[in-house]
Amino acid sequence: MTRLPLHEGWTLRCTGGDAPTTISTAVVPAQVPGSVHTDLLSAGLIEDPYLGENEAALTWVHRADWVYETTFEAEPIAPGERAALAFEGLDTVATITLNGAIVGRTENMHRSYRFDVTGLLEEENTLVVSFSSALTRAEEIAQEVGPRPHSYDHPFNAVRKMACSFGWDWGPDLQTAGIWKPVHLERWHEARLAQVRPLVTVGADGTGRVEVVADLEVAGAEDPGRRVRAELTAPDGGPIATGEVAVTGGRAVVVLEAGDVDLWWPHGYGPQSRYDLQVTLADGDRERDSWSRKVGFRDVAVRADPDEAGTSFVIEVNGVPVFIKGANWIPDDHLLTRVTPERYARRVEQSVAANINLLRVWGGGIYEQDAFYDACDAAGVLVWQDFLLACAAYAEDEPLRGEFEAEARDNVARLMPHPSLVLWCGGNENLWFSVDQDWDARLEGGTWGYGYYHDLFAQVVAEVDPTRAYVEGSPASPGFAPWEKHPNDPDHGLKHEWAVWNQVDYSHYRDEAPRFVSEFGFQGPPTWATLTRALAPQDLHKESAAFLLHQKAPDGNGKLDRGMAPHLGIPEDFTDWHWAAQLNQAHAVRYALTHYRSHWPHTAGAIVWQINDCWPVTSWAAIDGDERPKPLWYAMQAAYAPRLLTIAPRETGLVVAVVNDSDDTWDDTLHLCRESLDGVGQATEDTPVHAPARSVTLVQIPARLATPADATGEALVATLGEERTVHLFAELKDVALDPDALTASATRVGDGYDVHITASSLALDVTVLADRLAPDARTDRALDTLRAGESVTVHVTTEHPLETGLLTAAPVLRSSNDLHGVATD
């Protein structure tokens, strides 16, 4: 088979809606893959929607219609040859015509399409893809099937388009349109590989097996000489196994017994060995089609078992229970086609550097491009993939049901080769909402999606890829219907913790130890360089219209202030407020993570909302929309470290939790010291500790160390080997931290600067906000704790010359200490 990319020579024009005259009369060059917004930006016809208040000026796009058009040459169709237009993704409601004839219509951006054009192909061809408003179509379908409850303003649940394209509490409402994935003209004779599904398994004896299921599209009669061959090659290039079988009834199943194989492991547990799998279709000596991917051998199981505490939720890889140190993933740019393979790789690298071992692809986004899963495969990052339903009731009527099944089958098959993909999930928060919003009563028996979560998706995964686990939703109490056990019960399966942030202080994270927390988080603004790129200087205050447009959460600023007040106080100056809000976000998530990790194996995982942003915004992300790590990222890196100490109250009093998430035992002497802020010891004790591999060991703290003589002037320090934690006996705002505890100097080095910082008394969260001086500046560490007399060197990487004096003073050099005196309750 031959594939001719059709990505050149496209134009774009607006054909309906209330577009400005400069746009409604224009014909502009179009990039394919691409979108209307990116093309209009390139043509200079719209302002960047990510800056200032520009998003609000583009609401007319919601009702606009568009036409993409190109021409291409093609050789005449040969006898017995077939031709098809293959679209990997169209966003969303489209009509495709070739040489004036309609060849297909689409209403789903989450699936691929093929249209036979054998009888329409000419030497000179005109291809037109017309897009109509997805919002208008969603409203029409909602009327056809009956309205269903949904979050936010638009009926995104009535059309198969990225839900967050219609706006979310962290994302813009832009409602894109366009040919967002590649398009090809495919030509073939006799037969082609329509779909290849590699079922990769590992036996109890450690031997690998690949069952290659190849389904063909055949033109004409079956050829007895038609055969499918599969070959597996080792990571070092050596052949492992080959097999060849005849095609029968349009299908061939080739089984490859691989013998002893090198397993694929999540990072931190072992190597990420991958094998090359090559599949070819031939008639005699003539090759008709081929397919190749990398695969990995690993066995994955999800244990959702009843026990004395409720129902567990444990992910096992190769028989080893894994504490999931996760983060939720959203589309990395609202304008999807700007996310390149290199950008995916950078984000996965940042995740690994933060000690994350799982990314959950959230159900309001997209099934990501293969480059995302490739990067996770190579890095050893597990992937939890939601089916794309979020925060809404979804009708189980046509035309929606057929689209759900088609996209599910399409994407389950597409993603099968990736060893990183370990779990399919029915959707996001829909089971929970069905109970709390009483959908059964509100809809008077109308469907809301239960059949998708408990029947359709489970059936598709079982039929297409039985090597993957499936759970009906997040949150969910596995094994129970929503009306039998609340889907967000902390004792059963998966929990989303959103009372913190929305209703109560982050100290309430310690009120319970859920079995697995698949969503929780706290907001903070983006880095200063990102914020100042998006907002004009006059808009740099939290009540400006532009700032509020980039703060999508209801009462978001109010929740930020109420969240800061008990811990840091609320600074009046915006520069201080920005730092305090970022710091409080880091503290809140660190507080939750250390708590959850200390309860392993009862609590078997935590997935922070969220790792990334899709534009410059105040949000829950650890990496902002311009790819810069926020203080939260450094807090996650520390809280997800393989070895961790944390001090927390338990029934018996204050304890040190020694968390050892490594394959080696941790044997050392735990040194405890209650000391004044200037470093003078008040009480000490040494205790030998034996912490087995992949375990948590609790060490009781004696009362004489756990009880301060001066709660605002003392701290408890626990040290075990190279790990250390500091426990305060009062809230930060009440502790007598010295705001002038730091002295610093900076020196020029090869690729940037070294900032040498020394503390005269206890200094917390010592950070160099170097991006305030240069947009490319990055630091190798942040949120350091320094005891009296201790020093740290922070390395700043930048290509820009900086004034060393600016690196050693506020607002660049910051700590929790310097909020004293500038914040109020």
pLDDT computed for residue 109 by the predictor: 98
Q: Is the peptide bond before 601 cis (omega within 30 degrees of 0)?
A: yes
Number of H helices, E strands in the chain: 17, 46
The string of pLDDT tens digits covering residues 344-392 is 999 999 999 999 999 999 999 999 999 999 999 999 999 999 999 999 9
Q: Is the peptide bond before 610 cis (omega within 30 degrees of 0)?
A: yes
Given a cut of 70, is residue 177 above it in pLDDT?
yes
Provide the residue type at 793 as one letter.
T
Residues 6+ apart with CB under 8 A from 274: 235, 264, 294, 295, 296, 377, 378, 419
Given a cut of 80, is residue 79 above it in pLDDT?
yes
pLDDT computed for residue 352 by the predictor: 98
Q: Is 429 a catalytic residue?
A: yes
The string of pLDDT tens digits covering residues 706-746 is 999 999 999 999 999 999 999 999 999 999 999 999 999 99
Cα(421)–Cα(377) distance, rounded to whole angstroms?
Answer: 8
Given a cut of 80, is residue 198 above it in pLDDT?
yes
- Catalytic residue among 231, 407, 429, 714, which? 429
Residues 6+ apart with CB under 8 A from 339: 331, 332, 333, 369
Given a cut of 70, is residue 430 above it in pLDDT?
yes
Q: How far is CA 219 from the centre of its chain?
A: 42
- pTM of this prediction? 0.96
3-class state of residue 402 by DSSP? helix
Q: How far is CA 813 from the centre of its chain?
A: 31
Per-residue pLDDT averaged across 14-40, rounded?
A: 96
The string of pLDDT tens digits covering residues 110-119 is 999 999 999 9
Given a cut of 70, is residue 485 above it in pLDDT?
yes
Q: Determine which of 162-171, 367-376, 813-822 has the lowest per-residue pLDDT on average.
A: 813-822
Given a cut of 90, is residue 463 above it in pLDDT?
yes
Work out the mean pLDDT of the chain and round it to a whole number.
96
Given a cut of 80, is residue 294 above it in pLDDT?
yes
The string of pLDDT tens digits covering residues 239-288 is 899 999 999 999 999 999 999 999 999 999 999 999 999 999 999 888 99
pLDDT computed for residue 825 by the predictor: 67
pLDDT computed for residue 178 by the predictor: 98
3-state secondary structure 243-308: EEEECECCEEEEEEEEEECCEECCCCCCCECCEEEEEEEEECCEEEEEEEEEECECCEEEECCEEC
* Residue 822 near residue 571 (C-beta atoms within 8 A): yes
Per-residue pLDDT averaged across 526-531, rounded?
A: 98
pLDDT computed for residue 220 by the predictor: 76
pLDDT computed for residue 820 by the predictor: 85
pLDDT computed for residue 459 by the predictor: 98
pLDDT band at 99 (very low <50, low <70, confident <90, very high): very high
Cα(291)–Cα(36) distance, rounded to whole angstroms?
Answer: 32
For the chain, which domains are there? 2-187 (2.60.120.260), 190-295 (2.60.40.10), 643-734 (2.60.40.10), 742-824 (2.60.40)
pLDDT computed for residue 284 by the predictor: 83
Kindly give the pairing relationship between strand 306-307 and strand 300-303.
unpaired
Ramachandran assignment for 625, one of left (phi > 0), alpha (psi -120 to 50 degrees), beta (any other): alpha
Cα(72)–Cα(122) distance, rounded to whole angstroms?
Answer: 9
pLDDT computed for residue 25 by the predictor: 95
Paired tokens of 448? 């809301």
Per-residue pLDDT averaged across 806-814, rounded?
A: 97
